[in-house]
Amino acid sequence: MTPIQLILIIGFLFTGLFYFVRLRNRIADVLLLFILVGVAVLFILFPEWTNVLAKKLGVGRGTDLVLYLCIVLFYFVVLKLYARMRKLEQQITDLIRKQAIDEVEKLIKK
């Protein structure tokens, strides 16, 4: 197994674990954002680093490494948005259920 395969597997496992645990910690989100921005700035300032890192991880080119990492990040964002959407759906369901019960109680009292 090449190092990039291990990194990608760990990335997807982390994403899946994050989804199931559903971290709602804003600090973790901000920290992750700063790390990603920092790495992006370093790769922009020193593009040869991506090639060096890619070779060490068993990937042909730095561009391919960046693409693989973007795929993992995209998967993470999609799952995070899906979890948020499910939470909103549950809140709407609870609100509608409560409103329906309140209306039935009003009818019974009349």
**In this structure, is residue 96 part of a structural domain?**
no
**In this structure, is residue 36 part of a structural domain?**
yes
**In this structure, is residue 73 part of a structural domain?**
yes
**In this structure, is residue 8 part of a structural domain?**
yes
**In this structure, is residue 25 part of a structural domain?**
yes
pLDDT at 102 over 90: yes
In tens, the pLDDT along 58-97 reads 999 999 999 998 998 898 888 888 888 999 999 999 999 9
Query: What mean pLDDT do residues 4-10 have?
Result: 79
Phi, psi of 23 (to 5 degrees): -60, 125
What does pTM read for this prediction?
0.65
**In this structure, is residue 105 part of a structural domain?**
no
Distance CA 53, CA 65 (A): 8
| Domain hosting residue 43, numbered range | 3-82
Number of domains in the chain: 1
**In this structure, is residue 108 part of a structural domain?**
no
Distance CA 72, CA 36 (A): 12
